Amino acid sequence: MKRLIPKLLILFTLAACGCNGNETFSFRRSSRPIQTDEKGTPQEDHYTILLSIHRDPLNHIRNANHYQRLLTEQVGWRGLRIIHKAGHSELFWGRYRSPKQAEPNLKTAKAYRAANGMPVFAQAIIVPVPGKDIGAPEWNLKNVSASYSLLVAVFKNDPERNYFGRRRNAVYSCRGLRKKGYEAYFYHDKVVSHVTIGAFGSRSISKRGADGGEIKIKDPAIKKLQAEFSNLIINGNTICDIITDPFTGEKIRLTKKTYMVHIPGKNKGRLRGVRGSQENLFRPERRDRQR
């Protein structure tokens, strides 16, 4: 009797690999903050602690103000700041010259308990002080009028590895790519910085399948870039998923690939990948086996 082996794969781990990166990719890493000039040279010389994000559409302002008042008047924390935005409010604590300087207060925030014992700020993180995006405005992806771009690199601060300056490194990488003739852009969200290449129109990609879950690249310029920049760079490294072939039991290392993203426009949040473009999954051919 025949049975169909499912295509599901087991993801074992996410690990940095010694895979060959993109030869044309320019990466510069520096842990020391620098100043910004009028030409867009990046600056990340001050940090703060993002305590919480209040998302209740009706009460986020009141809730954030409540915690600011409570922590100031009853707990004695100083330097609390709120930024109100459409649909949510963000509560920050302090201003620090370096992430290391912020660490004692971060530990205090994570250890804080509300009256019911809940660790209200367990997800608190150190972030650059909110403000104007660093980097030249014309390189900022949110200022681009197009539909798609190719994501080639991602940068995230990693306190455990003493890795900071993700916005700075993204802008440096963007600058390096532009010097080599590529139309590179950066995009900063709250915790991640991205580097993309190209600005493509809505007709450069077509969606297929009943649910639009497959795409077809129609613009040859995208295919050319995908060939030149095949591996996604994360904090300067290629990253691999280690999976198990469901038929042989063999462990297989697959490098994460670059993929297409939607250009977000102004006042948007995270970059969204184009559905069907993240083809980094191992998909063995369907096989029948004898029991």
CATH number of domain containing 88: 3.30.70
Provide the pLDDT for residue 63: 93
Residues 101 and 156 in one domain: no
Domain match, 143 and 238 both: yes
CA distance 61 to 74: 20
Cα separation, 106 vs 238, in Å, equals: 30
Q: What is the mean pLDDT of residues 130-144?
A: 84
Statement to judge: residues 110 and 148 lie in one domain: no
Question: What is the number of structural domains in the chain?
Answer: 2
Residues 176 and 275 in one domain: yes
Based on the fold, state whether residues 11 and 147 are members of the same structural domain.
yes
Instruction: Mark whether 10 and 143 lie in a shared domain.
Output: yes
Q: Residue 284: its pLDDT value, please?
A: 36
Runs of H (alpha helix) within the chain? 60-70, 99-111, 166-179, 220-228
Share the mean pLDDT of the chain.
79
pLDDT in tens, 100-118: 899 999 999 999 999 899 9
Residue 205 scores a pLDDT above 60: yes
Asked if residue 159 and residue 124 are part of one domain, the reply reads: no
User: Is the distance from CB of 166 to CB of 159 less than 8 angstroms?
Assistant: no
For 143, residues 6+ apart whose C-beta sits below 8 A from its C-beta are 137, 266
Handedness of CA 233, 9, 261, 52 (dihedral sign): negative
Phi, psi of 56 (to 5 degrees): -60, 120
Asked whether the predicted pLDDT for residue 152 surpasses 90, the reply is yes
Distance CA 165, CA 45 (A): 9
Q: For residues 15-35, give the mean pLDDT.
A: 45
- Please check whether residue 94 is in contact with residue 79, taking contact to mean a CB–CB distance below 8 angstroms: yes
Which of 128, 143, 164 terminates a domain? The answer is 128
- Percent of the chain topping pLDDT 90: 48
pLDDT at 266: 66
Give yes or no: residues 174 and 244 share one domain.
Answer: yes
The whole-number pLDDT of residue 25 equals: 54
Last residue of a domain, one of 110, 128, 146: 128
- Using CA atoms, how far apart are residues 106 and 83, in angstroms rounded to an integer? 19
Least confident of 140-144, 259-263, 264-268, 282-286: 282-286
Kindly write down the DSSP assignment for every residue of 241-254, as one continuous string. Answer: EEEE-TTT--EEEE
How do 233-234 and 148-156 pair as beta strands? Answer: parallel
pLDDT at 60 over 80: yes
Whether residue 92 contacts residue 76, with contact meaning beta carbons closer than 8 Å, is answered with no
Q: Are residues 111 and 154 in the same domain?
A: no
Q: Residue 71 gets which letter from DSSP?
A: I
Dihedral sign (CA 40, 42, 45, 51): positive
- Enclosing domain of residue 123: 47-128
112 and 207 fall within a common domain: no
The residue among 138, 197, 188, 198 whose CA lies nearest residue 168 is: 188
Question: Of the candidates 74, 98, 128, which is a domain's last residue?
Answer: 128
* 0.95 exceeded by pTM: no
**Rounded Cα–Cα distance for residues 39 and 115 (Å):** 49
More confident call, 28 vs 134: 134
Q: Are residues 197 and 284 in the same domain?
A: yes
Residues 27 and 141 occupy one common structural domain: yes
Note the pLDDT tens digit of each residue in 260-282: 999 987 656 678 888 766 654 33
